[in-house]
């Protein structure tokens, strides 16, 4: 008896869906893309409407054969790949590679955004044909990326060094990091002083409050830019007379934040959980595809994790509102549900936000079925989604303006403010502070002073400060910047951040990106000779055109042609015009074999020492970056290393005789409790690997609070 064949991407997804569909269907996994452009050649016929020349990789030949065999036994085929452009393209490639059309069998596309029994059942009742607009948008992106990568990368090999790559999104991202570093280098700090006076009805501590000097008494600005001005001002404030000029109080509301999209999930997971963007997506994929629960049940715990829409289905909103009412009471639910809209012009509104598939599966109830990382991310997603439909937090805000009158009838205006939580609302469930940050303290309260009331001087303080340069990007802020500028899409953020580190274009220090010498050299070369490739505005415009293709408003070939024709013109003769770029770094080391100086080069697995006598002398040495910490197993130095996938880790310098390694940066000083090795915990903390004691890393003077997790 024939039955339906369902094709998905991953075995985990196939296993979960197979349980829902039962014996009438067989479910197979394509193991991702089944067909792609060849690796050895360009694979795009630029003289024939940019026709792609797709091939089935050898590694996928067996999968294609198995799908063909299974399809021959089925009377209906359902393409259930992911609900985005990549998923649509995979379905289209499957049809061609496995020859699924014909033989009078039904061939349908099935789309669902969560892997639950109800969602699967509904999806199979509402099948459709493959959406060629989505396929063409993916084809255009793939062809553009191939043209940029395969045309520019060989040029970088010749003019910089072998093994480099260029890309539409990655090259712009590197330029953003380079530009930020140059902003920091060009920044000139300005000195300023913060002056505060402690005032009160009496000198009683309970009746006192601190007020900040903000203006002259006549309302003009009063910048304190030197110590001399600060000292002179304080001399006047000590003997001034003080009176309350204005008292203001108001009730303020703070609405909850929208549920997660891909980028906001990556940002919050980076900021709160210290997850990298790629790690977040791996864990989210696991939660989406299905987890084994009690009683043999299997279900996806969250909706599809690649989305730019914060919209939530009416059914999910209703379920959350019922849960909140039963758990916290009616006062924690607003009269009407919130409506969250996408900010992007071409956001996929058919998609939903990232939310739990069932609010009844609370994080606490999932502890037995999830590992620690899965649980932490699931808790974040669950709390954010539930809180997004809860009542606002309500605060009582108070502000006091004080006049300080000096002897010459001049004086200053001082301000003080305080905020008191009146009603927690959504904050009872979801706080935006990081997991390991200290609890937020409520603002100090103001005494109940009245307008016209005279106050007594109690104390004063001065603090010298300097304006700060723009901060380096973290993973969270770089993802946010890419999203705001319209560079890339939800599916591209994580791989982009991974590849620019793998290529050694950028590195991390204290959790923040800075460009390497190699990254600066490559970015400058592209900026000078191929400005459009690394132009933020042009790249964002290109993303918009890809979205227009997906909407059916643009032809994909014309979009590619408009980019490629001028690009090819600039590329013509570039090898002769462009001078070689030296991105090596000098060192004090000499070659042990020929005595010539050694320099730092970047390679496939990171930076290394190489002899300047190459190619006559091919001596190389690993570039060892010590941490100052000693191996807890053999006592040798612990050094910074890099995996084949580009991940930074820390291992024993005596390897392979000693295999000790850790993902977190070791602290040089030993644990004060047990004397064993400590590693950075983040937020200025260090944790012992033996007794789990947590101490301030700053007090030890050895760490910067970074995390390499």
Active-site residue set: 304
d(CA 460, CA 472): 35
d(CA 466, CA 464): 7
d(CA 187, CA 469): 6
d(CA 685, CA 135): 48
d(CA 275, CA 295): 31
364: nearest Cα among 354, 424, 439, 356 = 356
The b/e string for 633-672 (b: 16+ C-beta within 10 A; e otherwise) is eeeeebbbbbeeebbbebbbbbeeeeebebebbbbbbbbe
d(CA 176, CA 539): 12
526: nearest Cα among 160, 87, 141 = 160
The 8 Å CB, 24+ separation contacts for 21-26 are: 21/120, 21/124, 25/78, 26/70, 26/74
| Contacts (Cβ under 8 Å, ≥6 apart) of 161 | 518, 583, 601, 602
Please spell the DSSP secondary structure of 517-539, one letter per residue: HHHHHHHHHHHHH-TTTT-HHHH
Strand partners, 396: 251, 420
d(CA 674, CA 654): 24
Residue 426 CA from chain centroid, whole number:
24
DSSP H helices, 225-360, are 227-238, 262-273, 277-289, 314-328
């Amino acid at each position: 008896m024939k039955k339906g064949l369902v094709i998905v991407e991953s075995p985990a997804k196939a296993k979960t869906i197979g349980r829902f569909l039962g014996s009438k269907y067989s479910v197979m996994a394509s193991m991702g893309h089944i067909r792609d452009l060849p690796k050895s050649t360009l694979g795009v016929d630029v003289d024939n409407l940019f026709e792609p020349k797709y091939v089935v990789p050898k590694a996928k030949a067996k999968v294609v054969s198995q799908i063909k065999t299974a399809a021959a036994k089925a009377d209906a085929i359902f393409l259930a790949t992911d609900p985005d452009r990549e998923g649509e393209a995979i379905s289209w490639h499957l049809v061609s590679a496995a020859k699924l059309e014909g033989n009078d069998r039904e061939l349908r596309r099935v789309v669902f955004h969560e892997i639950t029994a109800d969602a699967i059942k509904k999806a199979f009742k509402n099948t459709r044909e493959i959406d060629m607009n989505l396929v063409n948008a993916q084809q255009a992106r793939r062809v553009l990326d191939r043209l940029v990568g395969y045309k520019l990368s060989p040029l970088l090999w010749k003019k910089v060094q072998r093994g480099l790559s260029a890309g539409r999104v990655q090259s712009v991202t590197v330029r953003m990091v380079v530009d930020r570093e140059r902003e920091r280098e060009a920044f000139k700090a300005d000195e300023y002083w913060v002056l505060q006076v402690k005032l009160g009805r009496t000198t009683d501590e309970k009746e006192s409050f601190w007020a900040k000097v903000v203006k002259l008494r006549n309302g003009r600005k009063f910048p304190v830019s030197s110590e001399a001005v600060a000292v002179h001002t304080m001399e006047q404030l000590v003997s001034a007379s003080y009176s309350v000029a204005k008292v203001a109080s108001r009730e303020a509301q703070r609405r909850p934040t929208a549920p997660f999209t891909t980028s906001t999930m990556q940002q919050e997971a980076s900021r709160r959980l210290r997850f990298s963007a790629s790690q977040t997506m791996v864990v989210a994929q696991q939660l989406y595809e299905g987890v084994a629960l009690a009683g043999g049940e299997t279900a996806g715990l969250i909706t599809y994790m690649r989305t730019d829409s914060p919209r939530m289905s009416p059914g999910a909103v209703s379920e959350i509102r019922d849960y909140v009412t039963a758990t916290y009471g009616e006062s924690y639910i607003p009269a009407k549900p919130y409506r969250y809209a996408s900010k992007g012009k071409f956001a996929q509104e058919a998609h939903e936000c990232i939310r739990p598939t069932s609010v009844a599966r609370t994080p606490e109830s999932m502890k037995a079925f999830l590992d620690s990382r899965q649980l932490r991310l699931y808790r974040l997603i669950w709390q954010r989604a539930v809180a997004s439909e809860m009542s606002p937090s309500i605060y009582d805000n108070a502000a006091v303006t004080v006049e300080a009158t000096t002897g010459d009838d001049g004086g200053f205006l001082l301000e003080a403010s305080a905020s008191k939580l009146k009603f927690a609302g959504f904050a009872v469930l979801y706080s935006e502070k990081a997991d390991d940050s200290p609890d937020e303290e409520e603002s100090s309260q103001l005494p109940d002073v009245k307008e016209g009331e005279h106050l007594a001087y109690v104390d004063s303080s001065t603090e010298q400060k300097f304006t700060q340069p723009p901060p380096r990007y973290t993973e969270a802020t770089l993802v946010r910047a890419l999203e705001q500028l319209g560079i890339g899409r939800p599916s591209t953020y994580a791989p982009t951040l991974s590849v620019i580190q793998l290529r050694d274009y950028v590195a991390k220090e204290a959790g923040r990106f800075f460009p390497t010498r190699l990254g600066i050299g490559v970015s400058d070369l592209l900026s000078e000779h191929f400005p459009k490739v690394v132009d933020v505005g042009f790249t964002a415009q290109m993303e918009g055109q890809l979205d227009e293709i997906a909407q059916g408003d643009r032809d994909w070939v014309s979009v590619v042609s408009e980019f490629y024709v001028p690009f090819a013109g600039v590329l013509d003769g570039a090898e002769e015009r462009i001078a070689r770029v030296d991105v090596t770094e000098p060192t004090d080391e000499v070659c042990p074999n020929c005595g010539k100086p050694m320099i730092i080069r970047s390679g496939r697995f990171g930076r290394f020492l190489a002899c300047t006598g190459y190619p006559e002398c091919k001596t190389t040495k690993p570039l060892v970056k010590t941490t100052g910490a000693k191996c807890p197993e053999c006592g040798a130095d612990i050094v910074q290393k890099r995996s084949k996938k580009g991940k930074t880790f820390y291992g024993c310098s005596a390897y392979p005789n000693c295999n000790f390694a850790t993902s977190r940066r070791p602290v040089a000083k030993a644990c004060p409790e047990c004397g064993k090795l400590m590693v950075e915990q983040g937020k200025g903390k260090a944790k012992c690997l033996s007794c789990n004691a947590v101490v301030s890393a700053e007090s030890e003077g050895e760490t910067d609070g970074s995390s390499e997790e």
